[in-house]
Chains A and B, each alone.
Chain A
Amino acid sequence: MLNVSELTVDIQGSRILRGISLEVRAGELVCLLGRNGAGKTTTFRSLMGYLRPVSGRISWEDKDLARLSTWQIAQLGIGFSPEESEVYADLTVEENIELPTWTRTCGRPAAERISEAYRIFPKLERYRKRGGAELSGGERKMVSIARALALDAELLLLDEPFEGLSPAIIPLVAEGVAAIRQSGKAIVMAESNLHHVPDYIDKLVVIERGEIIYTGSLSGALGDVEVMKIIAGAVDAEPQT
Chain B
Amino acid sequence: MSAVFDVISPRIRPRPKPRLLNGVIPFVVLLAGLAIAPLMLTPYSTVMLMPALAFGIALLGMNLLFGYTGLLSFGNAMFLAVGAYVAAAATQAGVLHFELILIAAASLGGLFALAIGALCVRFTHIFFGMLTLAFGMLLHSFLFKFYNLTGGDQGMRVLRPMLLGQDWDMTATQFLSGPFYYYCLIVYVLLGLLTWRIVSSPLGLQLRAIRDNESKARYLGVRVYRLRLFAFVVSGVFGAIAGAMLGVSTGLADPELAYWPQSGNLIFMMILGGAGTFVGPGVGALIFVLLHEVLVSSTAYWRFMLGATLVFLVLVLPEGLIGTISNHLQRRVRGDAQ
Contacts and interface: CB of A to CB of B under 8 A. Distances in A.
A88 B211 CA distance: 10
B88 to A, nearest CB: 41
A147 B220 contact: yes
B160 interface: no
Interface stretch (A100-108, A167-175, A192-200): A100-108
Given A88-B212, A131-B16, A102 B205 contact: yes
B16 A95 contact: no
A99 B209 CA distance: 8
Interface in A132-182: 133, 147-148, 151
Interface in B166-215: 202, 205-206, 208-209, 211-213, 215
A91 B219 contact: no
B219 A70 contact: yes
Contacts of A100: 220-221
Contacts of B205: 91, 95, 98-99, 102
B17 A103 contact: no
A206 B113 CA distance: 50
Nearest to A133: B16
B209 A74 contact: no
B224 A99 contact: no
A75 B212 CA distance: 20
Size bracket, chain A contacts: 20 to 34
A71 B206 contact: no
A102 B224 CA distance: 14
Contacts of B17: 90
Contacts of B202: 98, 102
Which of A50, A74, A133, A148 has the largest number of chain B CB atoms within 10 A?
Answer: A74
B219 to A, nearest CB: 5
A56 B17 CA distance: 44
B209 A91 contact: yes
A82 B221 contact: no
A86 B216 contact: yes
Contact of B208 (A48, A71, A88, A102): A88
Which of A71, A100, A104 has the largest number of chain B CB atoms within 10 A?
Answer: A71
Contact of A82 (B211, B212, B216, B224): B216
5 contacts: A48-B219, A71-B223, A74-B221, A148-B219, A151-B221
Interface of B: 16-17, 202, 205-206, 208-209, 211-213, 215-216, 218-224
Interface of A: 48, 50, 69-71, 74-75, 80, 82, 86, 88-91, 95, 98-100, 102-104, 131, 133, 147-148, 151
Top 8 A-B residue pairs of the complex, sorted by shortest distance between their CB atoms: A103-B221, A74-B221, A102-B202, A70-B218, A90-B16, A75-B221, A80-B219, A100-B220
